[in-house]
Amino acid sequence: MITMMKSEDFTVCRCENVTYSEILAEMDKGVNDSREMKLKTRAGMGFCNGRTCGHMINKITGDTEDESPVFIHLRAQPPIRTVSFEELSGGLLDDEKNIKP
């Protein structure tokens, strides 16, 4: 269940149910970049891997203005699922038929 602290509060990360007030609370505690925010609140770590909320988190933390070479934006990754060798090969092969005398 999502509990919002104020009526003007809203959900920033839908996958992990992180609200704007939670992000502001972490910033008050000293979190000052999007990477650290991701580690503290799990915003950007859900199913979409930050593709939905990553830009907003970068804007809230002010990371979009930082052009220093040590700055790392939130990285979005495509969802990954395992693929068996059978699926990659197109099916099972019958080894008996492929043996040459």
DSSP annotation string for the chain: ----SSTT--EEETTTTEEHHHHHHHHHTT--SHHHHHHHH-TT-STTTTTTTHHHHHHHHTGGG---TT--PPPP--------HHHHHTS---TTTT---
pLDDT digits (tens, 9 = 90+) for 36-83: 888 899 998 888 888 888 888 888 888 766 555 455 555 656 667 777
Q: Is the pLDDT of residue 95 over 70?
A: no
- Give me the number of domains the chain comprises: 1
What is the pTM for the complete model shown? 0.57
Q: Does the residue 62 lie in any domain?
A: yes
The whole domain housing 69 covers: 11-89
What pLDDT score does 42 carry? 92
| pLDDT bucket at 92, cuts 50 / 70 / 90 | low
Q: Does the residue 97 lie in any domain?
A: no
Q: Does the residue 52 lie in any domain?
A: yes
Q: Does the residue 70 lie in any domain?
A: yes
Q: Is the pLDDT of residue 3 over 80?
A: no
Q: Does the residue 78 lie in any domain?
A: yes
